[in-house]
Amino acid sequence: MTPAPSGHRGLPEAPDPLPIDVVDNHTHLDITREGDEPLDVAEAIARARAVGVTRLVQVGCDLDGIAFTMDAVDRHPELLGGIALHPNEVPRLAASGALEDAYAEVERLAAHERVRVIGETGLDYYRTGPEGVDVQQDGFRWHIDLAKRLGKALQIHDRDAHEDVLRILDEEGAPDRTVLHCFSGDLTMARECVERGYLLSFAGTVTFKNARGLRDALSATPLENLLVETDAPYLTPSPHRGATNASYLVPLTVRAIAGVLNVDVPTVCRAVSENAERVYGSWDRA
């Protein structure tokens, strides 16, 4: 398949539509990869809707992204919002003396009816060194508490920090609705998360040839614990790895998941849709 020329690293052609509508559990419509032209929000939503991805969770994880998210969820009924300070953002704000004010802004905005998620929060030991670990962990605990106080779902970013993520969730008490966004753990971690009642959200990484361990983790994930996402504009599923990702490419990941789980595509679609509405509520406006 030859990608169409565009300012999006050759934005891939749309896959075949899904037979049942699904949700992109985690996307960043505010983020543009270097060298790309911005993809208009309405166009991104329309492309997704055309292939059966009718609802999206837009995630803002710094103050600019949060402001974008608040505006987007008011304008577009296809979107619900997630807001938080990303674990790499927390040490930066702490170093500049701006963290407490940023927390106050997140808490103020998180009360909005269309914001259903506190996230992405968590731990990232890949980009933040040992000097940032303590403040990162404190930030994770703060967001867990906020999610519980407001009755919102929690979406977790976990990079190279599996043991500490599970430990802190155990220590703090996880919210009733806890999602491991872009799940990256192994089979053992998947089983531990399922045992705790967490949902595992799989991204395009599950389609990568070298991701056998991740597919093993997926194989241990019951349908009732399953979500799917893009993490767009990153983690584009095969066969378009390296291109710019967008919600309209979710069908590629859904079909790969169905293959790993040895179930039909409609079964995966129904599970993903029902789980998302159970975790986040209805996308319909009151």
Q: What is the CA radius of gyration of the chain?
A: 18
Cβ(263)–Cβ(271) under 8 Å?
Answer: no
| Annotated binding residue 162 | no
| Annotated binding residue 26 | yes
Which residues fall within 8 angstroms of residue 175, CB to CB, at 6 or more apart? 144, 147, 148, 152, 153, 154
Cβ(55)–Cβ(21) under 8 Å?
Answer: yes
CA distance 52 to 22: 6
| Annotated binding residue 181 | yes
CA distance 248 to 42: 12
What is the CB-side half-sphere exposure of residue 250 using CA atoms within 13 A? 39
> At 60, phi and psi to the nearest 5?
-110, 125
| Annotated binding residue 143 | no
Exposed e or buried b per residue across 13-51, where buried means at least 16 C-beta atoms within 10 angstroms of its C-beta: eebeebebbbbbbbbbbbbeeeeeeebebeebbebbbeb
CA distance 92 to 101: 13
Pairing of strands 199-202, 153-159: unpaired
| Annotated binding residue 240 | no
SS3 159: strand
| Annotated binding residue 277 | no
Cβ(120)–Cβ(155) under 8 Å?
Answer: yes
Q: Which residues are part of a known binding site for a divalent metal cation?
A: 26, 28, 120, 157, 181, 231
The annotated binding site is made up of 26, 28, 120, 157, 181, 231
